């Protein structure tokens, strides 16, 4: 980590749902909460709790110097709606292959 930048990953302990329109895309009580300096809190959901059959891999990849290279998935009407880190940096290894959505409902 660089000076002043911090990332923590912990079990959220809360139920997280992702709904788009009438479709539930994810529903989990096993998500991880990632907190990162200067960024909104993000929930990373295990793939078993995500409707992967509704998502299509996109060619998009982004790089974060703190987390690594992210891969993205889309819906027909929502490009790059979800991302994951297949090979994250050691400090955030727990998020490996967990999926993160821009908008979630936390209960």
Residue 58 lies in a domain: yes
Residue 23 lies in a domain: yes
- CATH code for position 37: 2.170.150.40
Per the structure, the count of domains in the chain is 1
Residue 2 lies in a domain: no
Residue 42 lies in a domain: yes
The pLDDT value recorded for residue 106 is 87
Residue 18 lies in a domain: yes
Residue 1 lies in a domain: no
Query: What domain range includes position 79?
Result: 7-106
The pLDDT value recorded for residue 1 is 52
Q: How far apart are alpha carbons 71 and 59 in whole angstroms?
A: 8
The pLDDT value recorded for residue 4 is 81
| Cβ neighbours of 52 (radius 10 Å) | 15
Give the model confidence (pLDDT) of 26-82 as tens digits: 999 999 999 999 999 999 999 999 999 999 999 999 999 999 999 999 999 999 999
Give the model confidence (pLDDT) of 82-105 as tens digits: 999 999 999 999 999 999 998 888
């Amino acid at each position: 980590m660089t000076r002043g930048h911090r990332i923590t990953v912990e079990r959220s302990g809360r139920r997280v749902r992702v709904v788009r329109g009438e479709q539930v895309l994810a529903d989990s009580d096993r998500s991880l909460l990632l907190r990162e300096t200067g960024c909104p809190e993000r929930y990373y959901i295990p793939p078993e709790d995500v409707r992967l059959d509704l998502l299509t891999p996109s060619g998009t990849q982004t790089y974060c110097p703190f987390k690594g290279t992210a891969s993205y998935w889309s819906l027909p009407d929502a490009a790059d709606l979800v991302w994951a880190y297949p090979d994250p940096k050691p400090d955030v290894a727990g998020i490996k292959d967990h999926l993160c959505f821009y908008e979630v409902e936390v209960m």
